[in-house]
Amino acid sequence: MQTEVEAELCFPLLGNTSCSKTPNPQPIATYMLLSAISLVTVILNLLVIISISHFKQLQTPTNLQLLSLAASDALVGFLMLFQISLIGGCWFFGDLMCIVYFIVDHSVTSASIGSMVLISIDRYVAICDPLRYTIKVTKIRVSISVLICWSTSFFFNCMCLIDILKQSGRFNKCVGRCVVVVTYTVGITDLFLSFIGPITVIVVLYMNVFAVVVSHSRAMRSRVWGGTLRGATTKISELKAARTLGVVVVVFIACIMPYFCIAITGQDAVLNASSTAFIICLFYFNSCLNPLIYAIFYPWFRRSVKLIVTLQILKPDSSQVNMM
């Protein structure tokens, strides 16, 4: 029979060379909930990806940025399965995959934050400089910006962990652990480039957008009361888009703030396993919330989901359907 000590090891057959499991493991319901969130996150973001990729009318510069965000969120949902393993205290995929996981996870997270910055810039230009929006923001420019965002994220994280990648597992004192240690300089640089800098840009841009939105709202009310409606429809649609993406940004900041606040203050050592699991889950759960926000505020997303679920997209010329 398996002894009590062996039951607490990640790899009982390896004996003393195996790492131990988490002393106070999470209830099985926690793992089931996290797995369900992971699955739902992937499915919902795939619906966003299919919608924007398939329907020609939805392929606007703004939606291409949402496509980038959905791609990063879908990957986050998939990587959440590996994070569930780490919460349990055991890593079953080997030392090399441990480093690859950290590189991909940090790169995808950085790309997600970068996409938020691009969305904020898009709304800033659309609201604050609407006359030149179509000139400044084009599909080609947005595509190049998204490509730079993703490539820069992967390049930076690969450079941060290149030495560890060459000697995978050197920080693991036993089999079944996934530990990555970076230098203080790399950690501070990553903190500023991946969190403090982008969040500052996002907040500043949206404060300006909010001020202009308030001004435009008052102006439109004056036009409506005065009987002048010309141009109001376009402004209303832009304001609604700014509101929706503003909700996305606020929810995003609320979800990732606890995680990075712990990183800044260095208080992770005083957290228990449940608190750590909650903060990590909140960080990942944001990727599941974005498609739900789209479903609430974007009629085109609800229509596209209906067409996808009913397999109407398999019909000829379905990509030309009017979604607005």
pLDDT at 269: 46
What does the alpha-carbon distance between residue 69 and residue 296 come to, in Å, rounded to a whole number?
17
Cβ atoms of residues 171 and 137 within 8 Å: no
Q: Is residue 14 part of a domain?
A: no
Give me the number of domains the chain comprises. Answer: 1
Question: Does residue 12 fall inside a structural domain?
Answer: no
Q: Is residue 8 part of a domain?
A: no
pLDDT of residue 285: 79
242 falls within a domain? yes
Q: Is the pLDDT of residue 299 over 60?
A: yes
Q: What is the mean pLDDT of residues 129-146?
A: 89
Residue 270 has pLDDT above 50, yes or no: no
* Domain of residue 121, residue span: 19-320
Q: Is residue 3 part of a domain?
A: no
User: What percent of the chain has pLDDT above 70?
Assistant: 76
Q: How far apart are CA 44 and CA 304, in angstroms?
A: 12
- Indicate which CATH number applies to the domain containing 301: 1.20.1070.10
3-state secondary structure 208-263: HHHHHHHHHHHHHHHHHHHCCCCCHHHHHHHHHHHHHHHHHHHHHHHHHHHHHHHH
Model pLDDT for residues 183-233, shown as the tens digit of each residue: 777 778 877 887 888 888 888 888 887 777 777 666 666 655 555 544 455
Over residues 240-249, the pLDDT tens digits come to 666 666 777 7
Q: Note whether residue 91 is domain-resident.
A: yes
Instruction: State yes or no: pLDDT of 272 exceeds 60.
Output: no
Indicate whether 33 belongs to any domain.
Answer: yes
Q: pTM value?
A: 0.81
d(CA 130, CA 107): 33
Residue 2 in any domain: the answer is no
